[in-house]
Amino acid sequence: MEMHLYPSRLSQRRALEEAVTRREVILGEPHLTYPDFFERLYLELRLGPPPIGSSARKIFLQHTVAKARTDPPDENSERKQVHHPGLIAEYGEAISELKRAALLPDDLRETWRGLGGSDLVEAEEIRLLDGVYRAYQGLLDRLGVVDEEERDLRLLQYLRQNLRRVPEIPCLKGVERLVLHNLYHLSLVDHAILSCLIRTLPAGATLI
């Protein structure tokens, strides 16, 4: 049996509609998006705290961005009020990109130091991003939850550590091959997860 994976529900629906138009038999074959597939793996393997959704993530980011940009690091620093949704979205996207590249808060600080960053404007923005990232991650840790990116990092870590002894996973029962649609947009972490899984399947994977 093959399992088809898609980047989004829209591409998943289009593929299924095209298959029906061509009168292809699709019953019995699982068709999932990559995020849904990774979440099922994470939950079925019981790898940690429950993942949060996009609404909770947005609220947490609003709180941490506001706090990081209104709490000055010293008495001479200017207080910067923030209520702009676009700014919150930019921080959220930046944190997502860092996590999808497996860069955690400590990695961001060390990378910036290693680059020898000295521009005052850039340094201030990096400092703020560092503060937001640390506050956001700290909030998740205190609440005992994970976001989508940390969910995938935990999944990757587990698969790498248990590559030769991965237990039977319910959603992969009977699956011999993964059919990967539109793989180009995935992150480094996503690619690494799929690479680990492909090694455990009898027929590996096919790219479409």
Cα–Cα distance between 139 and 126 in angstroms, integer? Answer: 20
Q: What pLDDT does residue 84 have?
A: 65
Q: Is the pLDDT of residue 82 over 60?
A: no
Instruction: Tell me what pLDDT residue 76 has.
Output: 47
What b/e readout covers 150-185, taking b as 16+ CB neighbours within 10 angstroms? bbbbbbbebbeeeeeebeeeeebeebebbbbbeeee
Q: Is the pLDDT of residue 39 over 80?
A: yes
The upper half-sphere exposure of residue 190, i.e. CA atoms within 13 Å in the direction of its Cβ, equals 22
pLDDT of residue 154: 93
Q: Is the pLDDT of residue 193 over 90?
A: yes
Res 105 pLDDT > 50: yes
**Residue 122: pLDDT over 70:** no
Q: Which of 115-124, 164-173, 190-199 has the highest mean pLDDT?
A: 190-199
Higher pLDDT, 109 or 52: 52
With 50 as the cut, is the pLDDT of residue 79 above it? Answer: no
